[in-house]
Amino acid sequence: MNYNEQIKQFYLAHLDGAVFDGTRLQAPCPFCAPKEGTEQGTLVVDLAPESFFYGYFRCLSRCKPGGFPLHFAKLRGVNIRSAPGYDPDRTPYARTIIFPAKNLNNDVRKYHAMLTKNQLDFFASFGVSKPTLDEMQIGFNGRYLIYPYFLENGNCYASRCILPANDVDNFWAGDEAFYAPQFQVFNAEEIDRCENGALIITDGERNLLTLKELGYPAIGVPGLPALEALDPDRLAHLRHILIILNNSPEAQSCARMLATKLGFKVRILRWPPDKKRDYSLLHLYEDNAAGFADEVSRMISTSTSFSPFSSPEREYREFAEVLEKNIGRQVLGVPTGFQKMDSSMNGIRGINIMGGQPKAGKSCFFMQVSTEAARRGMPVIYYDFENGREKIYMRTLCRLSRLSEDELRRPDLPGDAQKRLDSAREELRGLLRYFRVVTDRKLSPDVMRRQIDFIKHETRLDMCLVIIDSLHKLPFKNLSERRTGIDEWLRIMESIRDEQKVAFLVISELSRAGEGGYNRMPDLGSFKESGDIEYSADNAIILQPNWDLLDPLSTTVRESSLWLVASRENSPGKIADYVLDFPYWGFAEK
């Protein structure tokens, strides 16, 4: 039984009188305690198969805040272990503070009772009804509207007081210790109610009220500093997080920063390009009150997972522009060699570290391996600190089209060559869905993990190939401690390999032998600052040219040998000889 079916059967088992109304389940609300002369409220459950809020329940009379199955089980007194998504090893979120005994709970109730018709009419002007105000316990002190900031322990220690006619006129009241940005989450209790479900994050209390009026689970922050201070661990147990902020570059930048921390579960809702700066949900209601609910629903349904990468279309477009711009120009720079992975290693698994002397063709070797894997539909992330994405794309295009860089830049290719180029460009466009190049020299282990998570989620595949070019150019905290940094990165790769089902291909430098040369029998001691390579690598391989690297480019046959010098599963020794297929940036196995 899949997860969605488990949720449906769970509600059917614990809701008496439940019936289906399209994609919603309806039942008399088991939590309502109707007053004399009133009817019991109706509880509805979202069971739309494509909905991010699948399994979200709420009472239409708002007797209790809604939530997802785990929250339902707690309210209903059902054994929590029977609820879909229950994890006995999950650690609840807890702050490292002691909450004071004194709180504002009585003041909140007093100020809520002071709401008058004028305040109710003010909220009604942007679609918010009294039942929503009752649920959120909004108050009035005679001049300012009072927005209580309840924390996860159910108590309020600080409130934001805002003049109805002027949001700029506002101040905090209560315990000053809880004025700090890390406590500024309006409706914070909603996070726990949405465990294993979806939650919307917005900015501004009034924006949040419009979402609550529509029945969405949501939290709000009063400003961007509070959004930046939001602890990712606080949101770790959510399946989907949707962010909709006011339409400004600053807000969108903060949304992307938070999304980068949280990973692929985040969706940032986009405003249409014709909307003015600082456009918000309040403006959307003002412009189209009758269609407000449909417009919010459309923004949610058309949202896409946040990606730390630029889109494949943009990658190809920018590369195509470079390619067109280079037509008619001379090729600059010195070409290097390349070779194809040998099947004698039983495929690419675990951590594979390849060494070779400078200009031996290590990078080109990995370019071919990685793009061939992407052609076969394997997700690949290429961390490049050596060549740049343009060179990687260009050499891949040369190999796919069997055309040199000089030929690619010609404006008058013969018919057959032009057909090969057109076909190769389409093939390159297709493989970019699976092939991502990262050149960020501020790369961190957390960012790497998030990027791997995303590409696996986007391609819906559970494996990923990671290329690192090269080990000695990975970011280190202190260049003087490079040896320690290399060992630390190797340990991180081991962890990622095991936790995220990732295979690594890593380029390493070789140490020089006597008299500053590299000519010696390949072995583990050949690796520069080898450190933990002998312990971490599943396979250690060395590319050794059998030709003089100082010899100028010519038609002379250039042959290299690939050596497996250490392996967990294979016998060490010479793998094969390879001949450079220049100028197409490929090595042919001899």
Q: What is the pLDDT along the chain (590 residues), one digit of tens a residue?
A: 799 999 999 999 999 999 999 999 999 999 997 665 567 899 999 999 999 999 999 999 999 999 999 999 999 999 999 999 999 988 888 888 889 999 999 999 999 999 999 999 999 999 999 999 999 999 999 999 999 999 999 999 999 999 998 889 999 999 999 999 999 999 999 999 999 999 999 999 999 999 999 999 999 999 999 999 999 999 999 999 999 999 999 999 999 999 988 888 999 999 988 999 999 999 999 999 999 999 999 999 999 888 777 778 888 888 888 778 767 755 443 222 334 454 567 778 889 888 877 777 788 888 988 888 888 888 999 999 988 899 999 999 999 999 998 999 888 889 899 999 999 999 999 999 999 999 988 899 999 999 999 999 899 888 888 999 988 888 876 545 667 778 888 889 999 998 888 989 998 888 766 555 555 566 666 776 656 677 788 888 888 888 776 665 544 577 888 888 888 887 888 888 877 778 888 777 77
Task: For residue 425, count other CB atoms closer than 10 A to its CB.
Answer: 18
The Cα 289–Cα 272 span in angstroms is 17
Structure tokens at 513: 């032998």
Q: Write the burial class of residue 87 (CB in 10 Å: 0-12 exposed, 13-18 middle, 19+ buried).
A: exposed
Residue 46: strand pairing partners = 24
Q: Answer with the one of 301, 334, 352 that is the final residue of a domain.
A: 301
Residue 306 counted as domain residue = no
Judge if 201 and 109 occupy the same domain.
Answer: yes
Question: What is the CATH number for 31?
Answer: 3.90.580.10
Residue 334 counted as domain residue = yes
Residue 14 counted as domain residue = yes
Residue 354: strand pairing partners = 507, 541
Q: Answer with the one of 82, 114, 135 that is the final residue of a domain.
A: 82
Structure tokens at 484: 């320690």
Judge if 53 and 189 occupy the same domain.
Answer: no
Judge if 322 and 294 occupy the same domain.
Answer: no
Instruction: Output phi, psi for 421, to 5 deg.
Output: -65, -45
Q: Are 486 and 524 in contact (CB under 8 A)?
A: no
Judge if 116 and 19 occupy the same domain.
Answer: no
The Cα 545–Cα 358 span in angstroms is 10
The predicted pLDDT at position 550 comes to 65
Residues 6 or more apart whose Cβ sits within 8 Å of residue 399: 338, 368, 371, 584, 585, 586
The Cα 68–Cα 59 span in angstroms is 12
Judge if 167 and 68 occupy the same domain.
Answer: no
The pTM assigned to this predicted structure is 0.63
Q: Are 450 and 481 in contact (CB under 8 A)?
A: no
Judge if 561 and 471 occupy the same domain.
Answer: yes
The predicted pLDDT at position 338 comes to 35
What's the distance, Cα to Cα, between the start and end of the chain in Å?
Answer: 52
The predicted pLDDT at position 320 comes to 86
Strands 266-268, 57-59: pairing is unpaired
Judge if 274 and 372 occupy the same domain.
Answer: no
Which pLDDT tens digit goes with each residue over 413-439? 898 999 999 999 999 999 999 999 999
Residue 322 counted as domain residue = yes
Q: Are 400 and 582 in contact (CB under 8 A)?
A: no
The Cα 213–Cα 219 span in angstroms is 13
The Cα 371–Cα 368 span in angstroms is 5
The Cα 405–Cα 436 span in angstroms is 22
Residue 94 counted as domain residue = no
Judge if 462 and 361 occupy the same domain.
Answer: yes
The predicted pLDDT at position 313 comes to 83
Residue 221 counted as domain residue = yes
The Cα 70–Cα 14 span in angstroms is 13
Q: How many domains is the chain built from?
A: 3
The predicted pLDDT at position 333 comes to 35
The predicted pLDDT at position 332 comes to 45
Report which DSSP code applies to 127: T
Question: What is the CATH number for 373?
Answer: 3.40.50.300
Closest listed residue to residue 301, CA positions, set 19, 20, 46, 9: 46
Closest listed residue to residue 241, CA positions, set 212, 219, 272: 219
Helices (H) and strands (E) in the chain, counts: 19, 21
Domain span at residue 54 reads 3-82
3-class SS at 525?
Answer: helix
Residue 505 counted as domain residue = yes
Amino acid at 497: R
Q: Answer with the one of 23, 48, 82 that is the final residue of a domain.
A: 82
Find the Cα–Cα–Cα–Cα dihedral 454, 460, 464, 467, rounded to 10°: -60
